[in-house]
Amino acid sequence: MWTVELGRTGVRLPNLALGTWNIRDPAAMRETIRAAVDLGVFHIDTAEIYPGAEEIVGHAIRGIRDRVFLTTKVAPQHATYTGTLAACEASLRRLGTDFVDLYLLHWLERDTPLEETLRAFRTLIEQGKVRFAGVSNFSVRELQRAQELFRPYALVNDQVEYNLTNRRIERDLLPYCREAGITVSGYSPFWEGRIPRRSPRWRGVERIAARHGRSPYSIVLNFLARQRDIVLIFKTERVEHLQENIAALDFMLDPEDIAWMEANFAP
C-alpha cells in the first residue's frame, strides 16, 4: 500500500479503505475491521443507511478509536440543516465516538437542500463533531456548485463508483478533482456484473492473474490502483480476503498487462 493525501489537508490515508455495506456476519465484520486497522487499512467507511453498520463499526473500534480514520454519510432524505445535525448526532451515538473524521452527503437528490446541508457541515466542523467534509456520487457540475456553497471551507472528497466496467471518472471527474485539490474515493472496485465469467475479457484477466500467480481480483485491484492518488474502498468480512487485497498491491503489472486492460476495459 501507499498513502494518499486527503484534499490539501496534509492528512495522509492508506490508498485502501474498508467498506461496511451489506454486512451479513457482524462478528466476522468486527474481527475484519480490527485486523484491517492492525494491517494499516485504518480508514473505515460506513453510512447511516447501511443497516446496523455504524453500531458494528462502533463496537469494533472501541478502545482503538485514536488509530482509526472514520468516514460516515448523511442520507439525502435527512439533509436539511436541522436534519443533518440530528443525523450526525445519531451517527456519533451509534459509532460511540465524539467526532467523525470525514462526513459526506451520500448522494444528491432533486429535493436535497444543498445549501442547508453544507451550512450544517460548517456548523458541525465548528462544533468539532466533524473534521472534514465531502460528498458522494457527485458529478463535476454538482461538485462545482457544492464548492461554491461551502466556502470558505473546502470539500476534500468525492466518493464515487469505480471499477472495470465504470471508469468514466477518468475522463472528467478525476482530472477536475486533481486540479481542485479534492481526493477521489472509488467504491465497489470488484463490481463486475457486466463481465460474463466466460467472456474473453474475463478470461484475459484470468490469464494475467495466472502469469503473476495471483487471483483475478488482485489484478483488478492492482490495475485500478495505478491511479496512485485514488482511495479504493472494498468490502469484505473475511480476514483472508483483506490480506489478499493488501497483497494485491505488492507487485507491478507488466506494461503489456496494463495495455491489454486499457484496451479491453476502456473508460
Give the number of other Cβ atoms within 10 Å of residue 207's Cβ.
14
Amino acid type, 95: L
Confidence band, pLDDT 50/70/90 cuts, at residue 258: very high
Report pLDDT for 9.
98
Domain 3-195+225-252, architecture per CATH: Alpha-Beta Barrel (3.20)
Give me 79's grid cell: 439533509
3-20: per-residue pLDDT in tens? 999 999 999 999 999 999
Closest by CA to 161, choosing from 133, 189, 193, 195, is 189
Task: Point out which residues pair with 185 in neighbouring strands.
Answer: 159, 231
65-106: per-residue pLDDT in tens? 999 999 999 999 999 999 999 999 999 999 999 999 999 999
Looking at the annotation, which residues are catalytic? 50
| pTM of the entire predicted model | 0.97
- Please give the full DSSP string across 183-235, using - where no structure is assigned: EEEEE-TT--TTS-TTSHHHHHHHHHHHHHT--HHHHHHHHHTTSTTEEEEE-
